């Protein structure tokens, strides 16, 4: 542990943004080229900024935790900031940064799959680097958490793809309709990091669909995407009780994927009845920390259930019940339960941090639906960069800064200090290690 004085000394003359760029380049040396390569649908004769300038500017907005497009344009309007972005992007010249209107216009025309391609590049690089190997379940399966959440709610119709839900107005008692946008995420949970690897927007194809889109339908589409992108990746799906159903089990069988789902007793009654019956026979009513039953028949397959009973400090019993296709043994019961419980991470660190902390994904940056999707995907990409920095930077590990301090240090650095081309060239190879904190 450093003393306060040592911390001040350590912090003096530190360029936090340069530190961030070093980590970015360590993992993704072709990131700028990837940004350059997106299919640009703008009218080529009116173009002032290349896609890499527009995309990197908006990524930095998220990295620095800037809430609105307007304040981004104001805060970035500094010579040092423009120069730093020019150097990192390897441009000959850059006199101004794109105004937020220019950025929103660009995002309104950009196909979301272009940004998905960039995210795939990032994730594949991380796998190649083999820096996350220790977080596989039983040394083999990558834990991928699936979870849906709402990102925008409107009182009036926003676009033809909105989900609609009726509700009763508290004051007038009238039945009204809320218009919403929801999203389903697949996130890789590796140690303290929760990295988005695929996104599916839950949306109606048009206004007149007889049945609205839902999380499980979106799940089927998301799975197709995942399978196409990461063909041979050994995956373990982690999700809540909604997923404990025949169509999802079938998908897992077909792709040879493992699953661990939270299990609510009423989700499949026959299965929970058999589990409880065997439990009362084997334990005679005495509760043990872990209890499991393998090979419970369900339709044409066998499923396994494991339960952890935790007694809290005030003598309250907490039960965590999971259904899985891992064969449960004395040796792996604890590991499987721990893996299943990682689902809370996507809720806490994943969505909450993105909604209330660093990014405010619910903020409507722009009204165009396609641009909104792209804003969302860019936050996911920025969040990967931020987490690798937050948990990978040696400097940050020593200084133990809060999220708020990190983002403001980064912003301060890009606005006041200059990185030169020579600085970047001189960068030594760094080592980045991730552990559980
Ligand atoms: Zn809409």
Residue 357 in this model has a pLDDT that exceeds 70: no
Do residues 384 and 263 both lie within one domain?
Answer: no
Q: Which of 350, 383, 401 is the last residue of a domain?
A: 350
Residue 285 in this model has a pLDDT that exceeds 70: no
Cα(150) to ligand 1 centroid in Å equals 12
Return the DSSP state at 137: B
Please, what is the angle between helix 51-63 and helix 369-392, to 10°? 60
Do residues 301 and 396 both lie within one domain?
Answer: no
Do residues 105 and 176 both lie within one domain?
Answer: no
For residues 96-108, average pLDDT: 94
Q: Which of 301, 322, 350 is the last residue of a domain?
A: 350
Tell me the per-residue pLDDT of 10-57, one tens digit each, with 9 for 90 and over: 777 789 999 999 999 999 999 999 999 999 888 887 788 999 999 999
Cα(370) to ligand 1 centroid in Å equals 10
Q: Which domain holds residue 166?
A: 138-350
With respect to residue 120, please indicate whether it lies within any of the assigned structural domains: no
Residue 180 in this model has a pLDDT that exceeds 80: yes
* H-run or E-run covering 292: strand 290-298
**CA-CA distances (angstroms) from residue 93 to 25, 63, 72, 85, 153?**
21, 23, 21, 10, 41
Do residues 270 and 157 both lie within one domain?
Answer: yes
Residue 123 in this model has a pLDDT that exceeds 80: yes
- Of 22, 93, 112, give the one whose Cα is nearest residue 53: 93
Cα(252) to ligand 1 centroid in Å equals 32
Cα(92) to ligand 1 centroid in Å equals 40
- pLDDT value at residue 132: 95
Cα(6) to ligand 1 centroid in Å equals 52
Do residues 147 and 295 both lie within one domain?
Answer: yes
Confidence grade of residue 415 (pLDDT, cut at 50, 70, 90): very high
Do residues 148 and 296 both lie within one domain?
Answer: yes
**Burial (CB count <10 Å: 0-12, 13-18, 19+), residue 124:** middle
Do residues 183 and 302 both lie within one domain?
Answer: yes
Return the DSSP state at 131: -
- pLDDT value at residue 51: 97
With respect to residue 129, please indicate whether it lies within any of the assigned structural domains: no
For residues 319-325, average pLDDT: 95
- Give backbone dihedrals phi and psi of 283, rounded to 5 degrees, phi first: -105, -5
- pLDDT value at residue 119: 98
201 contacts 183 by C-beta, under 8 angstroms: yes
Cα(393) to ligand 1 centroid in Å equals 39
Q: Would strands 235-239 and 142-154 be described as parallel, antiparallel, or unpaired? A: parallel
- Of 348, 345, 377, 385, give the one whose Cα is nearest residue 361: 377
Do residues 340 and 375 both lie within one domain?
Answer: no
Do residues 292 and 337 both lie within one domain?
Answer: yes
Tell me the per-residue pLDDT of 61-78, one tens digit each, with 9 for 90 and over: 999 999 899 999 999 999
Q: How many domains does the chain have?
A: 2
Whichever domain contains 238, its CATH number is: 3.90.350.10
Cα(64) to ligand 1 centroid in Å equals 27
Cα(157) to ligand 1 centroid in Å equals 7
Cα(209) to ligand 1 centroid in Å equals 14
Do residues 171 and 95 both lie within one domain?
Answer: no
Do residues 205 and 65 both lie within one domain?
Answer: no
Q: Which of 350, 376, 403 is the last residue of a domain?
A: 350
Cα(304) to ligand 1 centroid in Å equals 41
With respect to residue 94, please indicate whether it lies within any of the assigned structural domains: yes
Cα(146) to ligand 1 centroid in Å equals 23
Confidence grade of residue 381 (pLDDT, cut at 50, 70, 90): very high
Cα(375) to ligand 1 centroid in Å equals 14
Encoding tokens for residue 282?
Answer: 């084997």
Confidence grade of residue 428 (pLDDT, cut at 50, 70, 90): confident
Confidence grade of residue 350 (pLDDT, cut at 50, 70, 90): low
With respect to residue 302, please indicate whether it lies within any of the assigned structural domains: yes
Cα(85) to ligand 1 centroid in Å equals 34
Do residues 301 and 153 both lie within one domain?
Answer: yes
- pLDDT value at residue 139: 95
């Amino acid at each position: 542990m450093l003393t306060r004085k040592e911390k001040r000394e350590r912090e003096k003359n530190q360029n936090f943004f340069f530190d961030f760029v070093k980590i970015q380049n360590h993992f993704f040396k072709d990131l700028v080229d990837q940004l350059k390569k997106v299919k640009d649908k703008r009218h080529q004769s009116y173009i002032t900024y290349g896609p890499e300038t527009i995309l990197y500017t908006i990524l930095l907005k998220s990295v620095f935790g800037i809430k609105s497009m307007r304040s981004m344009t104001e805060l970035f309007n500094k010579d040092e900031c423009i120069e730093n972005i020019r150097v990192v992007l390897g441009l000959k010249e850059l006199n101004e940064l794109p105004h937020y209107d220019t950025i929103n216009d660009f995002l309104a025309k950009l196909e979301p799959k272009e940004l998905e391609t960039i995210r795939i590049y990032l994730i594949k690089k991380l796998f190649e680097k083999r820096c996350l190997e220790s977080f596989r379940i039983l040394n083999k399966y990558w834990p991928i958490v699936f979870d849906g959440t709402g990102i925008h709610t409107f009182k009036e119709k926003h676009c033809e793809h909105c989900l609609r839900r009726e509700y009763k107005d508290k004051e007038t008692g009238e039945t009204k309709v809320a218009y919403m946008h929801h999203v389903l995420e697949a996130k890789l949970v590796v140690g303290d990091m929760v990295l988005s690897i695929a996104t599916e927007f839950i949306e109606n194809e048009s206004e007149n669909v007889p049945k609205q889109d839902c999380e499980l339908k979106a799940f089927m589409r998301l799975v197709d995407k995942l399978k196409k992108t990461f063909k041979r990746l050994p995956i373990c799906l982690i999700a809540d009780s909604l997923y404990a159903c025949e169509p999802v089990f079938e998908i897992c069988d077909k792709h040879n994927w493992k699953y661990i789902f939270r299990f609510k007793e009423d989700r499949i009654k026959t299965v929970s009845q058999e589990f409880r019956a065997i439990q009362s026979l084997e334990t005679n009513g005495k509760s043990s920390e872990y209890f499991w039953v393998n090979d419970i028949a369900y339709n044409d397959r066998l499923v396994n259930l494991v339960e952890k009973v935790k007694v809290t400090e005030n003598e309250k019993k907490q039960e965590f019940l999971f259904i899985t296709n891992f064969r449960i043994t004395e040796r792996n019961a604890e590991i499987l339960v721990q893996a299943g419980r990682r689902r809370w991470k996507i809720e806490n660190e994943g969505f909450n941090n993105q909604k209330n902390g660093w990014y405010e994904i619910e903020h409507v940056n722009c009204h165009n639906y396609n641009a909104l999707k792209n804003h969302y995907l860019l936050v996911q990409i920025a969040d990967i960069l931020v987490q690798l920095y937050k948990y990978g930077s040696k400097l940050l590990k020593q200084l133990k800064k809060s999220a708020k301090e990190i983002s403001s240090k980064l912003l301060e650095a890009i606005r006041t200090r200059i990185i030169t081309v020579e600085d970047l060239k001189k960068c030594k190879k760094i080592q980045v290690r991730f552990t559980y904190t």
